[in-house]
Structure 1
Amino acid sequence: METYHRSCLLVSALCLAALAGCSKTRPTIERYHVTGTVSLNGDPVDHGEILFTSPEDVASGNEGSGMIVDGKYDLMSTPGAKQVRIYASETIGKDQQGMNKIVDLIPPKYNRKTTLTVEIPPEEHVANFELQSNPNRRRRGPQNNSEK
């Protein structure tokens, strides 16, 4: 019987030690409010996504991302040097199988092969991005039927 009580005490002590190890709090990660505008060839990007990232952000799961709406974005980011990726696309009709044809509006140098960077200070920040693509290829806006 005494062996049983010692075993129970030992198991209880091990459980308490394990729980004490789990109660450690993670360090607080500072994130700051970042806002700004995104334009392509002088026109606001109607809708899309913007991502601020660094190797440290990827490792800790703290990349900052936000939606672009009417050329404006709003997100939270950790401070430091960031690589910026901007995405926007539109549907331009259907293919032969009836599937939507989607084209990227933003050139790869601003997303998959980004050359954009920004430094985020440890405070609220504004960062605007004026992107350029082929100047002969402007975004298509709504068609005006009266011009036919």
Structure 2
Amino acid sequence: MNKSSAVITTLLFLAGIALLGCNNQRPIPKSYPVQGEVTLDGKPMESGEVAFVSVAEGIRDTVKVEGGKFSGEVLAGDRKIEIRSYIAKEGNTKMYGADAEPSYVNIIPKKYNEESEITATVKESDDNSFSFEVTSS
């Protein structure tokens, strides 16, 4: 074997090893359906979101709330629940003109989102129904 054949053989060998090492992809986790309702001060929360945050990995799956009800798909496991609802903040038109995009403010207290201690376990099944009650104070 001459020198150029040895170099080519070595390069092909190293390329093969590199390709074997590139297939370490994690499997995509399966999501499961969730559904339920959210009340704000005893009434269905008009609009907002429920975030299911993975306790172990910090992965956030968010589903929309409309008319007090939500549904969507999230990863299974123990989840911290964060609930938010936004309203348009008044005053932008005075500062930025009539065409200004409104800014929004979360009307749900931090104890139900950033500081939430609400938890739920999402099962690896199609039977994941939840009911969350929040208050504005």
2:128 aligned with 1:132, yes or no?
Answer: no
Which amino acid is the alignment partner of residue 108 of structure 2?
I
Greater alpha carbon shift after TM alignment, 73-82 vs 5-14: 73-82
Q: C-alpha separation between the residues in 2 aligned to 1:35 and 1:54?
A: 17
Alignment correspondent of 2:95? 97
Rounded Cα–Cα distance in structure 1 between residues aligned with 2:112 and 2:89: 21
More strand by share: 2
2:121 corresponds to: 119
Q: Residue 7 of structure 1 corresponds to which residue in structure 2? A: 7
* Residue 46 (structure 1) shift: 2.0
Moved over 6 A (4+): none
In structure 2, the residue matched to 1:46 is 46
What amino acid is aligned across from residue 89 of structure 1 in structure 2?
Y
Once the two structures are superposed, what CA deviation does each residue of 1:68-87 show, in whole Å capped at 9, x if it has no partner? 12222222222222110011
Task: Work out the CA distance in 1 between the residues paired with 2:45 and 2:74.
Answer: 21
The residue identity in structure 1 corresponding to 2:56 is E
Helix, strand or coil at the partner of 1:29 = coil
Q: Could you tell me which amino acid in structure 1 is paired with residue 87 of structure 2?
A: E
SS in structure 2 of the partner of residue 56 of structure 1? coil
Equivalent in the alignment of 1:19: 19
The aligned amino acid for 1:86 is: I
Query: Which residue in the other structure is 1:142 paired with?
Result: none
Identify the range of structure 1 (112-121 vs 25-34) with the bigger mean alpha-carbon deviation: 25-34
Corresponding letter in the other structure for 2:48: G
Q: 5+ unaligned residues in a row in structure 2: which ranges?
A: none
